[in-house]
Amino acid sequence: MYKKANPITFRKNAFLPNTNLYVANPKPPKVLPFHKHEFGEIVFILNGSVVHVTREGESTLTRGDIFVIEGDEAHAFRKLDNLQVFYILFDMDYFNSIRREFDGLKGFNIVFGLDPQLRKNFNFKSILKINDEELEELNLLLKFYEKECRYNLPWKTQSVESYFKNIVIQLCRYYSKSKLAKNDVLVKMEKVINYMKRNFAKNITLDNLANAAKMNLSTFRNTFKQITGYSSVAFLQQLRIAEASRILLNEKVKVKHAGRKVGYHNQTYFIKIFKQAIGITPQEYIDSVRKPADKKKK
């Protein structure tokens, strides 16, 4: 139905005006059209049921299903039946800036990062389903989060971010107790991803990664691509470029030094890879980000 459809885009400035985090707890329409967003969202099915549609297929979600959409995944909802849904909206740049705080948290790389690819490979089901007791516990936390988002209370930003991080941790705890968390392949792939995140600035080889996963090279290569949607080389490049972007934005270092910090010791090659990934050179990226910020200060 939607394989060739052009999704509408929900704009960041309309849903997250001057904030990194927000909440939506709307009365659902009869149909939510095919769309994508310039932000991420966590979707909580609190009651009822809905058919979740992506380009790859569709599945019926019911009470307790939770999934994460990180911006560019186009999807739609149809056949809403007594649906009660809760959304947490988050700015992707903000979320990427705090990812390292959750390094080593079991389930984080699966729930926040690999969720879309895994839903595709597991018959389009959500990879996180919680029971009634857990949902009641989580619902209480969501209500506090919603209150902090909607009212201008003292230290609002700090409180909202604290609740958001608490929710992230809680979802990973729920995942760690699920049957899927005991899947041997996912356990191995999460260990590999954690290894890559901690060592991306070093000279990582396929042998290093296959050994970390306790697989032979061929099996590892195919499994990693199936689970993440990327080759290990492309995934490592994403990690390096994301960290290089953060360094260029927040630290006053030369382009060559930023490259070295993330594992690119040849400046020409670093500039080439950065431009392929971002669309502009590192220096153009610095100028595009810092100059508007300087104008605001003036």
Domain coordinates of the chain in residue numbers?
Answer: 8-181, 184-297
| Residue whose structure tokens are 């080759």 | 231
Task: Give the pLDDT score at 183.
Answer: 84
pLDDT value at 293 more than 80: no
Task: Give the pLDDT score at 211.
Answer: 93
Tell which wins on pLDDT, 183 or 236.
Answer: 236
The average pLDDT across 190-196 equals: 89
Q: Is 86 exposed, middle or buried (0-12, 13-18, 19+ CB in 10 A)?
A: buried
* Per-residue tokens: 211: 């050994």
Name the CATH topology of 8-181: Jelly Rolls (2.60.120)
Phi/psi of residue 58, each to 5°?
Answer: -145, 160
Q: Which of 229-238, 246-255, 266-275 has the lowest mean pLDDT?
A: 246-255
CA 216 to chain centre: 29
pLDDT value at 295 more than 60: no
Same fold, 8-181 and 184-297: no
Pairing relation of β-strands 21-24 and 32-37? unpaired
Task: Give the pLDDT score at 298.
Answer: 47
Name the CATH topology of 184-297: Arc Repressor Mutant, subunit A (1.10.10)
d(CA 105, CA 103): 6
Give residue 249's pLDDT band: very low, low, confident or very high (50, 70, 90).
confident
Task: Give the pLDDT score at 142.
Answer: 95
Element of type H or E holding 139 = helix 132-150
pLDDT in tens, 144-187: 999 999 899 999 999 999 999 999 999 999 999 988 888 888 88
Element of type H or E holding 46 = strand 40-54
pLDDT in tens, 61-76: 999 999 898 767 888 9
| Residue whose structure tokens are 């760690």 | 176
Q: Which of 5-9, 19-23, 212-216, 234-238 has the lowest mean pLDDT?
A: 5-9
Q: Mean pLDDT in the chain?
A: 87
Residue 41 contacts residue 68 (beta carbons within 8 Å):
yes
| Angle made by CA atoms 79, 81, 85, in degrees to the nearest 5 | 100
Give residue 123's pLDDT band: very low, low, confident or very high (50, 70, 90).
low
